Structure 1
Amino acid sequence: MSRTPRPLVAALGLALAGGLVLAPGGTAATATPTAPTAAPAAPAAPAAAAEAKPIAAPPKTATSTGYGGAVSSVDPYASRVGLTVLKNGGNATDAAVAMASALGVTEPYSAGIGGGGYFVHYDARTGTVQTLDGRETAPGRMPTDAFIDPETGEPYPFTPDLVTSGVSVGTPGTPATWETALRRWGTRSLSQALQPSIALARKGFVVDDTFRQQTEDNRERFSAFPATRRLFLPGGKAPAVGSTFRNPDLADTLTAIGRRGTRAAFYTGPLARLIARTVQDPPTSSSTTLPVPPGFLTVRDLRDYRLRAQAPTRSSYRGYTVFGMAPSSSGGSTVGEALNILEGSDLSATDEPDALHRYLEASALAFADRGAHVGDPAYVDVPLRDLLADRFAAERACQIGDTAMAKPTEPGDVDDYDGTCGATAATTEPAEDTENISTTNLTVTDRWGDVVEYTLTIEQTGGSGIVVPGKGFLLNNELTDFTTVFDPADPNRIQPGKRPRSSMSPTIVLKDGRPFLALGSPGGSTIITTVLQMLVNHLDLGMSLPEAIAAPRASQRNTATVTAEPAFIAAYGTILEDVYGHDLVPSGDGLTSASDIGAATAIRFGRKGRVVAVAEPVRRGGGAAYVVRPAR
């Protein structure tokens, strides 16, 4: 079958909801007031467009089964965009880029062109998995003491000082990721792929509880910047649930990127100069008490940004081949190592609490090795082959006993291992974890069998809090993923041009060389444990894919306590604490009352093209999973 898509109505013709067809460039809408800026103002909307209704919210469907391709994300608008691309002949990459840009409109506090991410692609023609590292990079002039307050000589407080700053902003990689992915694997131009999100930004979407709550949670930070306040707190108030949120500035920015390409429209020229100026001298309100430390990003950093195309990590687990993201992400290595550690135990033959105990212990061991050895491979020597070696895993598995080991536990010796049991585990000092719970993830497959797993982010919920004036998007605070205090022995130490270590874990699993499962999640460092626990739930504990995603979660990241959702504590807390010796504490992000760990998406592949697409049924408000042709 030809993989060339048929022509689309009005060049794209993406129906988002209710039969609405959006032409290229979308339809103008009432402009949201923006901050004064050196950039040209957006043209005024025609009077007739002011009456345009927002695009109605598609239904949230947690599980869909069928044929011809499938999509899953946390947001129904984005999932509907991806589904329509597939129905109109686009492939998985076309749909993934269109979905990601839509998430930048409806989930602007989690992702967008001001951030970065990791794109994993399975090519059905060649049977190969390839990846794109679109992680943000540190500015070339960033000093190693950038996170130290020069007035006190002490580290800036993480929140809100360090997060809400120019110094936390890295060079964005998301626009380059979209353009490169489309050139390598897509059939649409960047301009075509961005049309749905441009229309969505102009016409607006319906505000839900999650969007309003996240806005309220960031009120102090957003109020510090006039451009951010005008966009997200118009009139000083968070958008009401059920109201329409429009972002014509973002629509204009995306239009320019689509027409001129990322190099001309984002990484060089007026927008690049504006981004650099905004980072170096954050435009704050006179009333804010936040210090907002300035950053070091320059136009040269933007001009010189380069995406990395690299091989995935690869590990085997119970007859499956698991592909993940190699460093600068620690996701592939840490998930892969933990699975290797667990492979020596028959989890399906034991009871569920014992299996969960072993899952928690394997995760702690893998996180110890992650902290000691994983960073940007362009700057540090990452022993990836050793970390994913079966013999190394067998030796690490010796530390797992009938009760929880003391934590934090020391990393393994990657220079001296033979797979046999030796000394018992020793404890070490706890490591700081500054990754936030935000981020977003999407999963796509098409009629030809291609698969995309894509995790993207601006780090904190709301990123740095800084909207680029007049451009409609937030800048990331991704550099806070570096270790705050410089240590020359730390693989995640601050260095100019370096990518901070990430936990994003987009994962594709093959069985006999063909796709079996694709999955990923947001959640900071809990991304790794979420993906790992879902794999254990599905492959070892016999849960269906919807059950594996819905099941309550716990996260052990080599810390003295296990972070767990309240439902997990209610179900397993007594036995895991009293019998196995784990110390479970309720989860929460430190900023809100949210207790969810992750907001995963996944697709399971069956016989004769049958797929099961799954999104979260409840977490982060519930997601949306759709198939091209539903099973009957």
Structure 2
Amino acid sequence: MSRRFVRSSAVAGALAVVLASTVAASPAGASGTGSPQEPPRVATSVGYGGAVSSLDPVVSEIGLRVLRRGGNATDAAVAMAAAIGVTDPYSAGIGGGGFFVHYDAATGEVETIDGRETAPAAMERDAFVDPETGSPYPFYPDLVTGGVSVGVPGTPATWERALERWGTTTLAQALHPATVVAERGFVVDQLFHNQTEANRQRFEAFTSSSELFLPGGEAPAVGSVFRNPDLAATYRMLARGGMDAFYEGPLAQEIADAVRTPPVAEGTELPTPAGSMTAEDLASYEAVDREPTVSSYRGYDVYGMAPPSSGGTTVGEALNILEQFDLAAMDDPAALHHYIEASALAYADRAAYSGDGDFVDVPVAGLLDDAFARERACLIDPQAAAPKPVAAGDARSYDGECGEPAAPAPEPEDTESTSTTNLTVADRWGNVVEYTLTIEQIGGSGIVVPGRGFLLNNELTDFSITYDAEDPNRIEPGKRPRSSMSPTIVLADGEPVLALGSPGGSTIITTVLQMLINRIDRGMTIQEAIAAPRATPRNGTWTVSEQGFIDSYGADLNAYGHNLWPTTNVGAATAIEIGPRGRLTAVAEPTRLGGGSARVVWPTE
């Protein structure tokens, strides 16, 4: 794949003019006088002509303007993702990676891009082991902070590849709105302030990070304007030079230097282990076109992301298991009991088989086979929870017949961050994008590349911490760590009817799964499905659940034998439902993480 891409056509030329004017006079999130103002946070919008949904109102405003000016879903998605790197830099940006799922209205096909980060070529299998003690570094703060867990970023290559395949504009034009916001600034909200404070110790460990995010030693105040001129300059450089300027120019060496010799502040007591990334690692990176996963569920075709994401196979397997039962005929506690049990079984198989399919044999066909699902469904007792964790099935040898009850297994390891972000776009022509992107931890590795304005990821913590030759997610040079990102597009009779996704680390899978069964089986509207309280059953002894879920269903589920553990938020989803005659219902979180923003081009209600 060539990383240098320029599209020249009458359409692109015309769109260049309108996109340049989109924010030049009045940038997204700014008044006509240039004073930044936050656009409205709208949880649900209904109408026609295209729609966007994200977790940030400035991001959604930019996407909406791209659609209104004639851009398609991919143009809007890349412009929105670039803006996320400005207004939500602790969740995603050009220092990270992600998965891009696209429905092409012209061909009727769902296609995907794998922009997951890769391990450096020199990464050793015991990279997460302290040589002085022989034991793994503590996950926090050691592994999540510093260079050792930084993977080669895939987000810039994803943007270029997506525009090359489906866009109508150039990378330079897509980056322009976010560049203006970075230069002029955005209004700091409570979440940004709180996340800065939560990362204070880590940011203070690096000179470049504290200079950007803790000016004068303080987190930006709520209501103040936060500007990032270094990131604006970086975006302008990429606009001029394309992604070769990221992966092969001086910036590549600066990224490698920041990983190998982090800009550690004098006097910090925080461990900041160095990594092994080189400029050659960046030069060799490529985003990969992959076939999506697909499973059939009650007449719908559910498309997701293939390995190294475990999202498509785990959501698909859980749906296949649940399809063996009539959830719609059950009361809520019974349906949720089955949801928890099916999730546990699918997560057991995820742990046993999921990894980077370019390095390990992932039995995708078996995991998504209805016969395998019938065999696993036999293990669900309609009246009682199985002891957790349950054991994995044999996805390489199965006959669909009932076997022995689910046996207990070791407690699963879960080090995946609950950060990340998600966006959803549909355009007037019927194209749809679902895109999940991340830098892993809230604040990534904590390292800002000096003078460049963006954080580097700590995605390599998604590998298993200790090496096991039989573990599909073991550390290997050049490998992509297992992910739970689950961007999902649902078709009915070959036409898209729903696109959805969420951040949340390993809770992403259950968030997407629960929203699907809420909408398809439990009779909820898409607005209700996204707002409903959540639980995230991941085959552990305890099922982590929002307090609202415990309040509504805890007593009944306890009677089944389930153990619920309270948490504040599970996931933070975005979705667009496509109805008859192209009627769009764009939905974002109404309250989680302060609420998202869903907008349509031509609102009707």
TM-score norm. by structure 1 comes to 0.92
Aligned counterpart in structure 2 of residue 285 of structure 1, from 250, 265, 277: 265
Matched, 1:244 2:244: no
Give the equivalent residue in structure 1 for 2:515: 534
Structural mapping, 1:33-52, within 5 Å = none
Per-residue CA shift, 1:462-515, capped at 9, x if unaligned? 000000000000000000000000000000000000000000000000001101
- Structure 2 unaligned regions, length at least 5: 1-8
Residues of 2 paired with 1:604 and 1:14: CA distance?
A: 30
Matched, 1:7 2:41: no
Per-residue CA shift, 1:310-337, capped at 9, x if unaligned? 1100000000000000001000000000
Give the equivalent residue in structure 1 for 2:300: 320
Structure 2 counterpart SS, 1:328: coil
Structure 1 counterpart SS, 2:515: helix
Matched, 1:449 2:456: no
Give the equivalent residue in structure 1 for 2:152: 171
Per-residue CA shift, 1:395-445, capped at 9, x if unaligned? 000111111111111100123211111111101111210111100000000
Residues of 1 paired with 2:431 and 2:395: CA distance?
A: 36
Residues of 1 paired with 2:451 and 2:173: CA distance?
A: 23
CA distance 1:523–1:214, change in 2 (3 Å): same
Per-residue CA shift, 1:14-66, capped at 9, x if unaligned? 546xx94359xx99xxxxxxxxxxxxxxxxxxxxxxx9744211000000000
Aligned counterpart in structure 2 of residue 568 of structure 1, from 549, 573, 577: 549
Aligned counterpart in structure 2 of residue 609 of structure 1, from 557, 567, 582: 582
Per-residue CA shift, 1:262-318, capped at 9, x if unaligned? 02x100121001100110011111121112000011011000001110110000000
Aligned counterpart in structure 1 of residue 173 of structure 2, from 167, 185, 192: 192
Displacement, 1:8?
4.7
Aligned counterpart in structure 2 of residue 333 of structure 1, from 313, 319, 327: 313
Query: What amino acid is aligned across from residue 26 of structure 2 in structure 1?
Result: V
CA distance 1:52–1:496, change in 2 (3 Å): farther
CA distance 1:22–1:76, change in 2 (3 Å): closer
Query: What amino acid is aligned across from residue 12 of structure 1 in structure 2?
Result: L
Residues of 2 paired with 1:135 and 1:207: CA distance?
A: 29
Structural mapping, 1:243-262, within 5 Å = 243-262=224-243
Query: What amino acid is aligned across from residue 204 of structure 1 in structure 2?
Result: G
Residues of 1 paired with 2:379 and 2:333: CA distance?
A: 18
Bigger Cα displacement from structure 2, 89-98 vs 266-275: 266-275
Aligned counterpart in structure 1 of residue 117 of structure 2, from 136, 144, 148: 136
Residues of 2 paired with 1:108 and 1:619: CA distance?
A: 18
Tell me the number of residue pairs that the alignment of Structure 1 and Structure 2 aligns: 595
Contact persistence 1:247–1:472 (CA under 8 A): yes
Residues of 1 paired with 2:313 and 2:44: CA distance?
A: 29
Structure 2 counterpart SS, 1:501: coil
Aligned counterpart in structure 2 of residue 21 of structure 1, from 9, 26, 45: 26
CA distance 1:54–1:144, change in 2 (3 Å): farther
Aligned counterpart in structure 1 of residue 369 of structure 2, from 389, 393, 397: 389
Contact persistence 2:115–2:154 (CA under 8 A): yes
Residues of 1 paired with 2:35 and 2:540: CA distance?
A: 46
Structural mapping, 1:422-433, within 5 Å = 422-433=403-414
Give the equivalent residue in structure 2 for 1:65: 46
Residues of 1 paired with 2:35 and 2:85: CA distance?
A: 17
- Structure 1 unaligned regions, length at least 5: 28-50, 588-594
Contact persistence 2:26–2:34 (CA under 8 A): no
Per-residue CA shift, 1:188-216, capped at 9, x if unaligned? 10000000000000000000000000001
Matched, 1:161 2:139: no
Residues of 2 paired with 1:370 and 1:54: CA distance?
A: 49
Residues of 2 paired with 1:234 and 1:247: CA distance?
A: 12
Contact persistence 1:132–1:310 (CA under 8 A): yes
Residues of 2 paired with 1:56 and 1:183: CA distance?
A: 33
Give the equivalent residue in structure 2 for 1:502: 483
Residues of 2 paired with 1:425 and 1:11: CA distance?
A: 59
Give the equivalent residue in structure 2 for 1:549: 530
TM-score norm. by structure 2 comes to 0.96
Matched, 1:298 2:298: no
Structure 2 counterpart SS, 1:77: helix
Structure 2 counterpart SS, 1:7: helix
Give the equivalent residue in structure 2 for 1:48: none
CA distance 1:429–1:541, change in 2 (3 Å): same
CA distance 1:113–1:3, change in 2 (3 Å): same
Structure 1 counterpart SS, 2:505: coil
Query: What amino acid is aligned across from residue 91 of structure 2 in structure 1?
Result: S
Identity rate of aligned residues, in percent?
64
CA distance 1:252–1:307, change in 2 (3 Å): same
Contact persistence 1:5–1:88 (CA under 8 A): no
Structure 1 counterpart SS, 2:560: coil
Matched, 1:358 2:331: no
Give the equivalent residue in structure 2 for 1:87: 68
Structure 1 counterpart SS, 2:101: strand
Per-residue CA shift, 1:201-237, capped at 9, x if unaligned? 0000000000000001111001000110010011110
Residues of 1 paired with 2:233 and 2:429: CA distance?
A: 34
Displacement, 1:383?
0.3
Contact persistence 2:12–2:170 (CA under 8 A): no
Aligned counterpart in structure 1 of residue 251 of structure 2, from 271, 296, 299: 271
Bigger Cα displacement from structure 2, 425-434 vs 164-173: 425-434
Residues of 1 paired with 2:341 and 2:121: CA distance?
A: 39
Displacement, 1:258?
1.2
Question: What CA RMSD, in Å, does the superposition of the two structures yield over aligned residues?
Answer: 1.7
Residues of 1 paired with 2:34 and 2:193: CA distance?
A: 20
Matched, 1:377 2:377: no
Query: What amino acid is aligned across from residue 280 of structure 1 in structure 2?
Result: R
Residues of 1 paired with 2:550 and 2:21: CA distance?
A: 44
Give the equivalent residue in structure 1 for 2:418: 437
Aligned counterpart in structure 2 of residue 146 of structure 1, from 119, 127, 131: 127
Give the equivalent residue in structure 2 for 1:35: none
Give the equivalent residue in structure 2 for 1:461: 442
Residues of 2 paired with 1:627 and 1:118: CA distance?
A: 24
Contact persistence 1:176–1:307 (CA under 8 A): yes
Matched, 1:116 2:97: yes
Residues of 2 paired with 1:52 and 1:512: CA distance?
A: 49
Residues of 1 paired with 2:20 and 2:34: CA distance?
A: 18
Contact persistence 1:6–1:89 (CA under 8 A): no
Displacement, 1:12?
1.7
Query: What amino acid is aligned across from residue 71 of structure 1 in structure 2?
Result: V
Contact persistence 1:72–1:444 (CA under 8 A): yes
Residues of 1 paired with 2:242 and 2:513: CA distance?
A: 37
Give the equivalent residue in structure 2 for 1:31: none
Query: What amino acid is aligned across from residue 593 of structure 2 in structure 1?
Result: R
Per-residue CA shift, 1:593-618, capped at 9, x if unaligned? xx111110000011111110000000
